[in-house]
Amino acid sequence: MLHKRKSKVLEKSNSRLAGLQSIDPALDLGNGITVAAYSVKVSDLELKVNKLNEMKATHDGLAAELRDAEKEMRDYNERVLEAVASRYGHNSEEYAQAGGKRKSERK
């Protein structure tokens, strides 16, 4: 299971944004550095972190589905091979063709 991604940069940015807003919500420091511009960048980073976490959650769900499907397939593989053995025998050519190891070839 993947853990949710936390961003120390995002946490620091949110804290800094709150500080800047407490100084002046319309603060303009020049060169395009404003509380509004900073807020947009913080929001953009937050959206990316959230999207990554959603993808990780989806990945976790798909990984669990894959593990379940593999387990089911392993069980079915055994059943198929045992059905072939039941019909043709454990030492038959058909058993070997189905992926089994013939009794006469085992050590």
46: confidence class by pLDDT, cuts 50, 70, 90 = very high
**CA dist., res. 71 & res. 29, Å (int):** 60
Percent of the chain with pLDDT over 70: 98
User: Is the pLDDT confidence value at 44 over 80?
Assistant: yes
pLDDT of residue 1: 59
Q: What angle do CA 81, 87, 89 make, to 5 degrees?
A: 75
Whether 94 and 88 have beta carbons less than 8 Å apart is answered as yes
107: confidence class by pLDDT, cuts 50, 70, 90 = confident
pLDDT tens digits, one per residue of 2-16: 677 889 999 999 999
Q: How large is the average pLDDT for residues 72-91?
A: 96
pLDDT of residue 2: 65
